[in-house]
Amino acid sequence: MEDPAEQLIRRALGRRPPPKLGPTLVDDVMRRVTVPPQSAAPGRGGPWWLAIPWLTAAGASMVVLAHLEWSGTARTVAWGLALAVVPLAYSATLWPGGALRLLALCSGGFLAAPREEPRAPR
Amino acid sequence: MAPAPDADDEAIVAEYLGSRDPDLFRLLVERHQERVFRLVAAILGPFADLDAEELTQEVFVRVHERLETFRGESRFSTWLHRLAYNRTIERRRRARLRFAHVPWGDLEESPTPDGPYEAALESERVRAVARLVDELPDVYRSVVHMHYWMDQSVDEIAETLDVPAGTVKSYLARARGRLRDRAKARNVQGLE
């Protein structure tokens, strides 16, 4: 037999019934832990011709860079950027959504319209 | 290959890590789901506004991710229990930053004793007691939830927490003692 204090505790907690375990928990857990094999993405077992646009873009970049009349340092930096960006962009389809959003956020400043320069008075 | 139904957990874990046969992990979940769910629900309590079943799922997903770190130095059930306990406490603390301790709506339907004044007093008293329980240390609060809310016997609680029945009795007694002391300090009647 419970004393009045225990009955009060029971009343205080008993406003909501305790939850019941559903019948699908095991299946739900198994669905979450059994990861399906990744679908083929470009560069990861996809058809070779998917690389053609990227290789074309890379080739065009090289041609443009080779014809720019830049200093040696600027040319080196540009080549470095191109070599880093092209493979990164190629693998972008494999990135998680969060990384893409972050990239879009960071590149927003570069992609924004150029500022209007005030014209010098004639 | 189907696992032997009487195989112990540690053997099943070892076999699963070698073969990655989903049936082996399913067997572990089936064996422990009820106990983990009870533990999670008890820690969350009636006013936590979190889904105990969803968190139980998360615990098992986490177990799956970390299964390779199980070294067999303790029983699998002890390891699982500790992981479930820590995970749920962490989630509850995060949730408490966002939710009020005891939502009004859950306590307003208190039984009306005699008149509106008495009903209001009773409602306030019940709410104060719920708040006192909510403020108990994690382990005492969980045991109080299991006993008074989930209606579990001392032996059932001992099994869930993987401790001797005497320890559960001691937790309950200490929890009631703390509730009594705090009720006195805050002038809440009925817990003497």
Domain annotation covers residue A92: yes
Amino acid at A23: P
Residue B20 lies in a domain: yes
Of B33, B129, B130, the CB nearest to A21: B33
Q: Are B129 and B183 in contact (CB under 8 A)?
A: yes
Residues B148, A29: C-beta atoms closer than 8 Å: no
CATH number, domain at B53? 1.10.1740.10
Number of structural domains found in chain B = 2
For residue A56, what pLDDT band results from cuts at 50, 70 and 90? confident
Q: B190's torsion region: left (phi>0), alpha (psi -120 to 50) or beta?
A: left
Chain B residues closer than 8 Å to A14 by CB: 46, 148-149
Of A8, A9, A19, the CB nearest to B53: A19
B131 and B113 in a single domain? The answer is: yes
Hey, what are A41's tokens?
A: 């993405």
% of chain B beyond a pLDDT of 90: 63
Q: Do B29 and A15 touch (CB under 8 A)?
A: no
Q: Within a domain: residue A84?
A: yes
Same domain, B128 and B65: no
B127 lies in the same domain as B177: yes
In a domain, B175, yes or no: yes
CB contact under 8 A, B46 and A13: yes
Q: Pick from B66, B96, B126: which residue ends a domain?
A: B96
Q: Nearest CA to B3 among B38, B115, B19? A: B19
Task: Please indicate, yes or no, if residue B2 is contained in any of the structural domains.
Answer: no
Q: Are residues B87 and B114 in the same domain?
A: no
If asked whether residues B80 and B25 sit together in one domain, one would say yes
**Do B75 and B145 reside in the same domain of the chain?**
no
Q: Which residue has the higher pLDDT, B174 or B162?
A: B174
Residue B156 in domain: yes
pLDDT in the model for residue A76: 81
Domain boundary among B72, B96, B120: B96
User: Is residue A1 in some structural domain?
Assistant: no
Residue A63 has pLDDT above 80, yes or no: no
Domain total of chain A: 1
**Does any CB of chain A come closer than 8 Å to the CB of residue B141?**
no
Between residues A50 and B170, the one the model is more confident about:
B170
Question: Given a cut of 50, is residue B152 above it in pLDDT?
Answer: yes
Tell me what pLDDT residue B7 has: 85
Q: Which residue in A6, A17, A11, A18 sits closest to B110, CA to CA?
A: A11
Same domain (yes/no): B21, B81: yes
Is residue A17 a part of any domain in this protein?
no
pLDDT digits (tens, 9 = 90+) for B67-84: 999 988 889 999 999 999
Cα angle A92-A98-A100, degrees, rounded to a multiple of 5: 30
Q: What percent of chain A has pLDDT over 70?
A: 60
Rg (CA), chain A: 30
Residue A91 lies in a domain: yes
CA B89 to chain centre: 9
Residue ending a domain, among B37, B65, B96, is B96
Return the structure tokens found at A110: 């570069």
Domain limits at B124? 104-185
Could B22 and A16 be called an inter-chain contact, meaning their C-beta atoms sit closer than 8 Å?
no
Q: What pLDDT is stored for residue B99 in this prediction?
A: 53
Q: For chain A, give the mean pLDDT.
A: 74
Which of A2, A7, A10, A11 should one mutate to test binding to chain B, selecting the residue with the greatest count of B CBs within 10 A?
A: A11
Q: What is the mean pLDDT of residues A103-112?
A: 61
Question: B125: domain CATH number?
Answer: 1.10.10.10
Q: Check if the interface score ipTM surpasses 0.90.
A: no
- Residues 12 to 51 of B: which have CB under 8 A from any A CB? 22, 25-26, 29-30, 33-34, 37, 41, 45-47, 51
A31 lies in some domain? no
Nearest CA to B188 among B128, B101, B111? B128
pTM over 0.90: no
- Its domain, for residue A103, covers 50-109
Whether B3 maps to a domain, the answer reads: no
A20 in a structural domain: no
Taking residues A65-73, what's their average pLDDT? 76
> Mean per-residue pLDDT for B41-64?
90
* Residue of chain A whose alpha carbon sits nearest to that of B62: A33
Query: Does the CB of A68 have a partner CB in chain B at under 8 Å?
Result: no
Same domain for B145 and B68? no
**Shortest alpha-carbon distance between residue A36 and chain B (Å):** 13
**Residue B108 counted as domain residue:** yes
Question: Do B51 and B89 fall within a single domain?
Answer: yes
User: Residue A83's pLDDT band (boundaries 50, 70, 90)?
Assistant: confident
Say if A80 falls within a structural domain: yes
Is B24 within the bounds of a domain? yes
Cα(B149)–Cα(B43) distance, integer angstroms: 11
Same domain for B76 and B130? no
Lowest mean pLDDT of A47-56, B28-37, B48-57, B133-142, name the range.
Answer: A47-56
Q: What is the mean pLDDT of residues A39-61?
A: 68
**Position A116 pLDDT exceeds 70:** no
Cα A58 to Cα A122: distance, rounded to the nearest angstrom: 43
In chain B, what is the straight-line distance between the N-terminal and C-terminal CA atoms, in Å?
59
Please indicate whether, in this complex, the C-beta atoms of A34 and B22 are within 8 angstroms of each other. Answer: yes
Residue B192: inside a domain: no
Q: 81-100 in B: which are within 8 Å (CB) of A?
A: none
Is 60 exceeded by the pLDDT of residue A74? yes
What is residue B26's predicted lDDT score, i.e. its pLDDT? Answer: 95
Same domain, yes or no: B92 and B110: no
Which one is predicted more confidently, B55 or A108?
Answer: B55
Domain shared by B178 and B161, yes or no: yes
Q: Is B182 on the interface with A (CB under 8 A)?
A: no
List the single range of A57-61, B40-44, B52-56, B151-155 with lowest mean pLDDT: A57-61
